[in-house]
């Protein structure tokens, strides 16, 4: 039976906190930079991905119920406004979902079921953004 502490833990805590999320995000952008399958997705981003490596990690930490630094640093910003003016078609949305799925499979939490659930949620979110 799950302990009370475990049942009250946030996804952020269950995933292993910042270290796990940072690992996933590093892998995600490494894949985006290295794999030509993501060339179109890469081209939408700024030449230097360093700011995004920090930003996406902080966003995902908050999204998983962890510290809300990203929202504190970006008052009033949301997923919609963060992507305003970015042409996201189905192909690049699929590339985002695919790269994130691979990053989680490669560097995700020890709990593979939790990792698969996280990948599924993010993949759905990304695909819903493709037009
Ligand atoms: C559907 C495909 C997606 C594409 C093509 C895409 C593309 C982009 C691009 C080009 C930027 C600006 C980056 C830069 O200036 O270098 C951006 C910002 C951002 N993206 Fe995405 N994105 C996608 C999905 C997502 C998803 C699913 C999430 C979160 C779960 C996400 C989180 C963010 C965040 C947090 C920022 C802004 C960071 C900031 O300004 O602090 N994106 N995205």
Instruction: Provide the residue ranges of all domains of the chain, joining segments of one domain with +.
Output: 13-128
Give the tens place of pLDDT for each residue, 50-61: 999 999 999 999
What are the CA-CA distances from residue 93 to residues 30, 42, 70, 75 (Å)? Answer: 17, 12, 22, 26
Instruction: Specify the ligand 1 atom closest to the Cα of 46.
Output: 16
- The pLDDT-based confidence of 6 (bands split at 50, 70, 90) is low
- pLDDT > 70 in the chain, percent: 95
Give the residue, by CA position, lying nearest to ligand 1 atom 13: 45
- pLDDT > 90 in the chain, percent: 94
Tokens encoding 38: 């993501």
User: Do residues 104 and 115 make contact, with C-beta atoms less than 8 angstroms apart?
Assistant: yes
Does residue 97 have its Cβ closer than 6 Å to ligand 1? no
Q: What is the mean pLDDT of residues 42-65?
A: 98
Q: What is the pTM of this model?
A: 0.95
Multiple choice CATH, 13-128, 1.25.40.10, 1.10.490.10, 2.40.100.10, 3.40.140.10: 1.10.490.10
């Amino acid at each position: 039976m799950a302990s009370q502490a475990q049942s009250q833990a946030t996804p952020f805590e269950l995933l292993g906190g910042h270290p796990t999320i940072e690992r996933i995000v590093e892998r995600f952008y490494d894949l985006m930079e290295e794999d030509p399958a993501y060339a179109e997705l890469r081209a939408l981003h700024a030449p230097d991905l360093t700011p995004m490596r920090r930003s996406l990690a902080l966003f995902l930490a908050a999204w998983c119920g962890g510290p809300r630094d990203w929202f504190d640093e970006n008052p009033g910003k949301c997923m919609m406004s963060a992507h305003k003016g970015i042409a996201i078609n189905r192909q690049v949305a699929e590339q985002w979902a695919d790269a994130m799925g691979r990053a989680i499979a490669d560097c995700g939490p020890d709990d593979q079921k939790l990792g698969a659930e996280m990948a599924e949620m993010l993949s759905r979110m990304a695909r819903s953004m493709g037009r």
